[in-house]
Homo-oligomer: A and B are copies of this chain.
């Protein structure tokens, strides 16, 4: 399996990792950080899975597709949580997560 095939999906994973990491960092700075705890936790999980998926795809790891499946799930869970909040960083994160989940699911189809 060629790494080119994964190119679009890697790009989405990295875009999503950045949005999640930014949202994570910004949530910790919010006044009501306690309300954001689930968002912080899911941002972190999603960012780490996106990074791992990008690495797995770019090295054509045999488990790349399985990691993409987990990545799609983590993205969807993170998007669902982010949509509950009005912060701009949460909205941007939700968008990036949904876009990444779609890229992963397209590749898995």
Contacts and interface: CB of A to CB of B under 8 A. Distances in A.
Interface of A: 3, 10, 14, 17-18, 21-22, 24-25, 28-29, 31-34, 37, 40-42, 44-45, 47-49, 51-52, 54-56, 58-63, 66-67, 70, 73-74, 77
* Copies of this subunit: 4
A59 B21 contact: yes
A3 B32 contact: no
A25 B3 contact: yes
A28 B63 CA distance: 18
Contacts of A48: 52, 55-56, 61
A22 B3 contact: yes
Nearest to A24: B59
B74 A63 contact: yes
Given A3-B18, A25-B60, 8 more contacts: A21-B55, A21-B58, A28-B37, A33-B33, A42-B62, A49-B63, A66-B70, A67-B70
A41 B28 contact: yes
Nearest to A33: B34
A33 B29 CA distance: 11
